[in-house]
């Protein structure tokens, strides 16, 4: 395994103490209510008051668990992103270790398009605007891309990380879908981008 891959975010929260039963119930109610609200409308229009009312909990209970709507979206998205993180670290190639960098990047793009297809509304709520750069998942993706660029000996790797991640924003993905592009077309374009950047010159 690439040493840089081993340094990717481990599994935040694994050592956290177990929740009390009532706290776990409230958390479940909050996440279920938020998921329904996010699925029904633009997550950027959902407020903490909306979620508290839908979950049947007080504002104090809600804010003790989550500081913002974005934090709730992050919690909902976390389980889906962790699946990809685990595959990047220990899965089969080309998504996991063992394939050339360009193939791994193309496989990562394909996995992220699949994630966006099912959960773009959560990504939109969790990573809208500058909040995207603060999430743990984004830092994980960033380290992964950087390790692939270094492995491929791409010059100016640091300046290419954000451009390579930019196509995976929910806004870009949803705009492409609204313009009639299917997932296969989006994935094919990203596959071409991966190989154009990471394939060594002839």
The structure's pTM equals 0.78
Q: Which domains does the chain have, with CATH numbers?
A: 21-69 (1.10.10.60), 70-198 (1.10.357)
User: Do the Cβ atoms of 112 and 168 come closer than 8 Å?
Assistant: yes
Listed residue (112, 116, 125, 129) closest to 40, CA to CA: 125
**pLDDT given at position 41:** 83
User: Which residues, other chains included, contact 61 with Cβ-Cβ below 8 Å and sequence gap of 6+?
Assistant: 26, 52
User: Do the Cβ atoms of 94 and 195 come closer than 8 Å?
Assistant: no
pLDDT in tens, the chain (202 residues): 444 444 544 444 444 456 677 778 888 999 999 888 988 888 788 999 999 999 999 999 999 889 988 888 888 888 889 999 999 999 999 999 999 999 999 999 999 999 999 988 888 777 666 667 777 888 999 999 999 999 999 999 999 999 999 999 989 999 999 999 999 999 999 999 999 999 966 6
d(CA 36, CA 13): 25
d(CA 42, CA 32): 16
**Phi-psi group of 93: left, alpha or beta (phi > 0 → left; psi -120 to 50 → alpha; rest → beta):** beta
DSSP 134-191: GSHHHHHHHHHHHHHHHHTT-TTHHHHHHHHHGGGSHHHHHHHHHTT--HHHHHHHHH
- Using DSSP's 3-state secondary structure scheme, residue 141 falls into helix
**pLDDT given at position 4:** 45
148's tokens = 């692939």
């Amino acid at each position: 395994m690439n040493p840089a891959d081993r340094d990717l975010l481990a599994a935040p929260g694994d050592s956290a103490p177990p929740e009390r039963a009532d706290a776990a119930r409230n958390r479940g109610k909050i996440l279920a209510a938020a998921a329904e609200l996010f699925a029904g409308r633009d997550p950027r229009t959902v407020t903490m008051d909306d979620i508290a009312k839908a979950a049947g909990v007080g504002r104090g209970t809600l804010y003790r668990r989550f500081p913002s709507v974005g934090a709730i979206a992050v919690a909902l998205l976390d389980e889906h992103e962790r699946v990809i993180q685990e595959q990047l670290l220990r899965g089969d190639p080309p998504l996991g270790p063992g394939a050339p960098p360009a193939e791994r990047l193309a496989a990562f793009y394909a996995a992220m398009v699949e994630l966006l297809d099912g959960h773009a509304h959560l990504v939109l709520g969790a990573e809208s605007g500058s909040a995207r750069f603060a999430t743990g998942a984004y830092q994980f993706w960033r380290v992964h891309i950087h390790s692939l660029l270094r492995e491929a000996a791409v010059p100016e790797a640091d300046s290419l990380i954000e451009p390579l991640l930019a196509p995976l924003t929910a806004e870009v993905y949803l705009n492409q879908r609204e313009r009639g592009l299917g997932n296969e077309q989006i994935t094919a374009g990203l596959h071409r981008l991966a190989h154009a950047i990471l394939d060594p010159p002839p």
